[in-house]
Amino acid sequence: MPAIQVLIVDDSVVVRRLLCEALASAPDIKVAGTASNGAIALARIPQLNPDIITLDIEMPGLNGIQTLVEIRKLYPRLPVIMCSTLTERGAATTLEALAAGASDYVTKPSNSSSLANAMDQLRQDLVTKITCLARCRSTISEPLPAISLFKRTASADHTIDILAIGTSTGGPNALGEVIPHLPQDLPVPVVVVQHMPPLFTRMLADRLNSRSRLAVQEAEPGKLLEPGQVWIARGDYHMTVARKGLKTVLELNQDPPENYCRPAVDVLFRSVAQTYGPNVLGIVMTGMGSDGARGAAYIREAGGEIFVQDEASSVVWGMPGAVVNSQCANKVCPLPEISQEIVRRVVVGRTQTSLGAMTARV
């Protein structure tokens, strides 16, 4: 199989060298070329025909966002990984880039961290993401309507009391398609794990909150779970839920990562299954790896339900695909239909269950 061809775009000579060194140890990846600014990058794409691009955000002339917009006009399916910084401005601009069509991002080593450790982390993140995105690009399929995989779906005879969502690569845009389309009177709380570092999760919550009818916030320990709220797990903290008398509250911890992730979807899903039993609807959307598959099994074993995003609308079908392969998905949905399916199950299902109970009493 031919090596994955990568074009590195960054105005810093040092960063270009670091990225080249980070990729040199991967036998199936080759740096096809580099560019010091956006204009040069746009000129080199047809010459080099890269499989993937790494793109700096802060550059003179055409900056990363402007370059990305031009790339998307000319090459709508070419994967682009943004190189970001762990700063408030970097987080905000990264979310803007993801909204503009970036496939994923990596964070550059910070001055405060050990260079060797930071390089190891960058190498691991970058190689994994390049390999996965290049593989996904070659297996694009056509979208299909929502498919029920089991008889026990929206006709279940119990209400949903909490909505739990897990996602990773491509997740900010997927959440942007789902959360803003949920109604203001949604009768359940929503808890979300999106694989992101600290600061990025707060910026994501703020961005979603500005676009949604529901109140979206970054998770805080001890906060009561109430209908109409959306809580995004804080970067570098697992998020769980726990009963406190008649109330349910959020809890955060820094237990070891699971599936190399903190926050991890599996941790949240186990927690909601233990706390809410069968009254859980779990959603697994686009993401690399298999985080959420074991947690989905906990929800199903407790009597809850799992909907997953379909392959055609996912940036990466790793996480939802793992749930389907483990036979834990009740329904597979294209991204544009997920919010409708949530409302149908949570709101309409709740009404039908209440009417059924009233009829039974009569």
* CATH code where residue 350 lies: 3.40.50.180
What is the distance in angstroms between the CA of the first residue and the CA of the last residue of the chain?
68
Answer yes or no: 148 catalytic: no
Exactly one of 10, 36, 103, 195 is catalytic; name it. 195
Q: Among the three residues 107, 137, 167, which one is the final residue of a domain in this structure? A: 137
Answer yes or no: 291 catalytic: yes
Q: Among the three residues 83, 112, 137, which one is the final residue of a domain in this structure? A: 137
What's the CA gap between 11 and 62, in Å, rounded?
11
Q: Are residues 69 and 32 in the same domain?
A: yes
- At 150 the pLDDT is 56
Q: Are residues 253 and 186 in the same domain?
A: yes
Bridging pattern class, strands 238-244 and 247-253: antiparallel
Q: Are residues 77 and 224 in the same domain?
A: no
Exactly one of 104, 291, 310, 314 is catalytic; name it. 291
Kindly state whether residue 142 falls inside one of the protein's structural domains: no
- At 144 the pLDDT is 60
Residue 66's domain is classified under what CATH number?
Answer: 3.40.50.2300
Q: Are residues 201 and 126 in the same domain?
A: no
Exactly one of 36, 84, 103, 168 is catalytic; name it. 168
- At 109 the pLDDT is 73
**pTM summary value:** 0.91
- At 47 the pLDDT is 97
- At 308 the pLDDT is 98
Q: Are residues 203 and 175 in the same domain?
A: yes
Spacing of C-alpha 309 from chain mean position: 11
Q: Which two tokens mark 360?
A: 């039974």
Q: Are residues 260 and 123 in the same domain?
A: no
**Residue 122 lies in domain:** 4-137
Tens-of-pLDDT digits for all 362 residues of the chain?
A: 789 999 999 999 988 998 998 899 899 999 999 999 999 999 999 999 999 999 999 899 999 999 999 999 999 999 999 998 878 888 999 999 999 999 999 988 765 556 677 778 888 899 999 999 988 865 555 556 666 665 444 445 789 999 999 999 999 999 999 999 999 999 999 999 999 999 999 999 999 999 999 999 999 999 999 999 999 999 999 999 999 999 999 999 999 999 999 999 999 999 999 999 999 999 999 999 999 999 999 999 999 999 999 999 999 999 999 999 999 999 999 999 999 999 999 987 676 655 455 444 44
Q: Are residues 312 and 216 in the same domain?
A: yes
How many domains, the chain?
Answer: 2
Q: Are residues 117 and 155 in the same domain?
A: no
Answer yes or no: 238 catalytic: no
Q: Are residues 92 and 187 in the same domain?
A: no
